[in-house]
Chains A and B, each alone.
Chain A
Amino acid sequence: IAGITQAPTSQILAAGRRMTLRCTQDMRHNAMYWYRQDLGLGLRLIHYSNTAGTTGKGEVPDGYSVSRANTDDFPLTLASAVPSQTSVYFCASSEVPGNTIYFGEGSWLTVV
């Protein structure tokens, strides 16, 4: 089934370590997004990319970086993880910015 694949599904990470969450979509969507979900806060945008080669900052970008070398992949990197980055991370995509956004299954990250 076509869609968005995230890896890893879950991870426990020591504080201070570097971590990359992978995201691949096979729908040839132009726009991709990374959200984090925290209890009581809903989903908040970390970074986005409207098209390959471009990225932008969302609401909560500090401590995270992204790259968009091609249409399909949009990895999210935590350079030096901190406990406050414990969250569920969702990668998402849309055909063009403003169209319906489709979500991956999420990556559960615990920083200890």
Chain B
Amino acid sequence: AQSVTQLGSHVSVSEGALVLLRCNYSSSVPPYLFWYVQYPNQGLQLLLKYTSAATLVKGINGFEAEFKKSETSFHLTKPSAHMSDAAEYFCAVSDRSSNTGKLIFGQGTTLQVKP
């Protein structure tokens, strides 16, 4: 069975600082992994996804994530935080062990960006 753990429910960085949001997964099959962002009172928007091609995946808004099979990790990074990055971020793995196609989400990490 697949699962996702996001380390840290709340991360605070200064504007211009590196953003690192951690995600570890468990999967019995090669995983498809996703990062979504949710701005206040909005739905989820896809940031990036890994589907077994390049291990370093670039997404929107300057974010990227690296798939590391040996560490079962898919951490999200951005070199320089902007105030507009403040949001909740969800890591998810696609349930490829069944035919549902559903996503299994982590609990989410709230990113705060301080001026």
| Chain A interfacial positions (CB closer than 8 Å to B) | 4, 31, 33, 40-45, 48, 50, 56, 58, 90, 94, 96-106
Contacts and interface: CB of A to CB of B under 8 A. Distances in A.
Contact of A40 (B9, B34, B36, B99): B9
A45 B102 contact: yes
B105 A48 contact: no
Nearest to B100: A48
Contact of B101 (A42, A94, A102): A94
Given A31-B101, A43-B105, A48-B100, A100 B42 contact: no
A45 B49 CA distance: 20
B106 A50 contact: no
Most chain A CB within a 10 A radius of its CB, from B36, B42, B101 = B101
A42 B109 CA distance: 9
Interface residues on B, range: 20 to 34
B42 A99 contact: no
Nearest to A98: B101
A100 B46 contact: yes
A99 B101 contact: yes
A40 to B, nearest CB: 6
Interface string B19-56: 00000000000001010100001111110010000000
9 contacts: A42-B108, A43-B103, A44-B105, A45-B102, A58-B100, A97-B99, A101-B34, A101-B101, A103-B43
Contacts of B106: 42
Interface string B83-106: 000000010001010011111011
B107 interface: yes
A31 B90 CA distance: 21
Contact of B100 (A44, A97, A102, A105): A97
A61 to B, nearest CB: 12
Nearest to B102: A45
Most chain A CB within a 10 A radius of its CB, from B36, B106, B108 = B108
Most chain B CB within a 10 A radius of its CB, from A31, A40, A43, A105 = A43
A103 B101 contact: no
Contacts of A94: 101
